[in-house]
Chain A
Amino acid sequence: MTTVEMFINQAPFRYPSPIETELSHLAELFAQTPALAVYPPRWLAIQALEGDESLLNDIRELGGPAVAAALDASLERLHEIYGDDLDVALVDQRYRFVHTIAAQAVRRPVEAPVTLSDRIDRVVTHRWLGIPIFLAVMWVVFKLTTDVAAPFVDWLDGVLSGPVSRWTVALLAMVGADGGWVESLLVDGVIAGVGGVLAFVPVLLSLYFALALLEDSGYMARAAFVMDRLMRTLGLHGKSFLPMIVGFGCSVPAIYATRTLDSRRDRILTGLLVPFMSCSARLPVYVLIAMVFFPTSAGQVIFGLYLTGIVVAVGMGALLRQTLFRRQPQAPFVLELPPYRMPTLRGVWRQMWERTSSFVRKAGTIILATSIVVWLLLAIPIGEGSFAETPVDQSAFAAVANAATPVFAPLGFGRWETSGALVTGLIAKEVVVGTLMQVYGSAAEESSTPGDEPATLADDLTSIVNGFGEAIGAALRALPGIVGINLVHAEEEPVVEGLAAAIRTGFAASSGGHSTLAALAFMVFVLLYTPCVAALAANRHEFGTSWMLVSLLGQFAIAWLAAFVVFQGGVLLGMQG
């Protein structure tokens, strides 16, 4: 550092003489003007000559007529020499200075070699290969988040619903509080609700791992370049693609990421389309439902949902561009592309940790609170039963959810369990899973034999460790499947059988036997419907209340229509299911 500073001190950076004369003249004048004391004088002079409009206004207003006249005279004199290119000349001079330093400090081969970045770019950003390569990359990402993470989800789920629940009951027994409503609150409310969501941490870890790899390697910026042509059909350009990709993680940072875009039109349009990119909170819902109804092709179904989100965004973008944003032109597309780099373990881990821990924090607050509210509503009897001993279909939750049920009846999932889950999902999408676990979990308990085998703490711990080892094995066996080689046929049923059966029965009852179609419609609805409160708050913060309402109502309508088409269309076509 010191050598650079010394060098700069010896050769102070100066502009060519006509510009330098005016600069020092103006800087001196600004320095003597107390109203302009907040700005460094020379910096202000440079900005003025470069034509920064807001600073020019400041100088004219704060500096008074004498300063304004001197400024105009300077600009006039320079205009005679440089014409309209004064600002370019100033920037050019800075680059010349940088090149002079670089020429003395950096040794370069005479003929620039073809770098590895060049060679990768020739393939990855190829005009026709670019988009297929991008889709293949995304395919690997989603196989990774479903197939490889699934064994760990099963393991965590088993640990939470088995040993952890048993330990809780045992601890309560020690203080003499077992068997009552406290046990029900902790086991059926907190562990079933929060635990059901926490069990998906492995899915999120692998999604964030993949996103971090793509970002840190430099591929993400190439994806923006490759997708530019496709984004034009949305009335946007490649730069808007980056918030969209962030949207696959979470809509909230994605909406804030629109700040990097150059015009308000692009920001609002991107912000409206971001929620159609399926966020990671929706992934647990797909995983649960797809594993129950499409156990052999869950990965394909989930990939299809992500694509559906993109297709709907394309349609909505085209529609909005022709209507609400008709008269507004888009800003030009400029994006710097970093060279390819090997991602570091530390960088990737930091991103995984930051994003996953914010999810876990959410589980500890918002999801815990909704789980308790849902449990309370489930515990309060409306028909027969007493507090915390209520049959689920007689509970206050069933009564409240029933009010919303007719809306969903034409979509094939008009049951209080699912409509209740969708309503609680407005608070956070992953809560849909927690609520489904709570309402179907109690039904499942009746059908399955309760785990009464007297397990010691040591037994539990061994089974937890062994289970983790088995999960690693299963994940490794799933790895070849990512590229399409299926070594393991007929995976064992991953979701707890009692719960899966309860969910199947529920969907069959609400859809008149077309339970697979209803499940598909349900997932499409979850994909598209109104974003969670956090995303709505971000939307309002960035774009204002009226745009937030457009998002809230518009997405509900779109989701309803799309789910209607899937279910009724499927029934009309006579699809089995």
Chain B
Amino acid sequence: MQLHNHSIPLMFVGQGVRTRLVGINGSQRTAHRLAELGFVPGVEVSVVADSGSALMVTVGNTRMALGYPLAQALLVAIPEKGSSR
């Protein structure tokens, strides 16, 4: 997996910020599992809540709870204001 410029783990984005998924940084197993749940590159992801050990995220139209380690593995970019994909 190559490193993306300007991408940060979803974990550090903060609540309510709209982001776009650019890649998954983890084992192939993890990457596959997350992709099957809808975490595919380009999809819009945002954090709704933080329980202190897991994030509640919106991905497309679904809502997921993700443990911190998985939230670390998701690399996202914050689109500049006004720009679309």
Contact = CB atoms under 8 A, between A and B. Distances in A.
From B33, B62, B63, residue with most partner A Cβ within 10 Å: B63
Interface string A59-87: 00000000000000000000000011101
Contact of A91 (B28, B35, B64): B35
Nearest to A92: B40
B54 interface: yes
Given A334-B33, A336-B62, A87 B51 contact: no
Q: Report the contact-size class of chain B (Cβ under 8 Å from the partner).
A: 20 to 34
A335 B1 contact: no
Contacts of B63: 117, 121, 336-339
A125 B32 contact: no
A467 interface: no
Contacts of A221: 65
A232 interface: yes
B64 A333 contact: no
A150 to B, nearest CB: 36
Given A337-B56, A337-B63, A226 B30 contact: no
B38 interface: yes
Interface stretch (B3-11, B66-74, B75-83): B66-74
B84 to A, nearest CB: 11
A94 to B, nearest CB: 9
B13 interface: no
B37 to A, nearest CB: 6
B32 A118 contact: no
From B50, B56, B64, residue with most partner A Cβ within 10 Å: B56
From B33, B52, B70, residue with most partner A Cβ within 10 Å: B52
Contacts of A238: 51, 54, 65
Given A95-B43, A336-B63, A125 B49 contact: yes
B51 A130 contact: yes
A100 B48 CA distance: 26
Given A121-B48, A122-B49, A226-B51, A337 B1 contact: no
A225 interface: yes
A225 B51 contact: yes
A122 B47 CA distance: 11
Given A51-B28, A88-B40, A336-B37, A237 B67 contact: yes
From B38, B41, B54, B70, residue with most partner A Cβ within 10 Å: B54
Interface in A320-346: 332-339
Contacts of A125: 48-49, 51, 56
A88 B35 contact: yes
B8 to A, nearest CB: 19
A95 B48 contact: no
A338 B61 CA distance: 10
28 contacts: A50-B32, A83-B1, A85-B31, A87-B32, A91-B32, A92-B35, A92-B41, A121-B48, A121-B49, A121-B56, A122-B48, A125-B48, A125-B56, A127-B52, A221-B65, A224-B65, A228-B53, A228-B54, A229-B54, A232-B53, A237-B54, A238-B51, A332-B33, A334-B33, A334-B37, A335-B65, A336-B64, A337-B63
Interface of B: 1, 24, 28, 30-38, 40-43, 48-54, 56, 62-67, 69-70
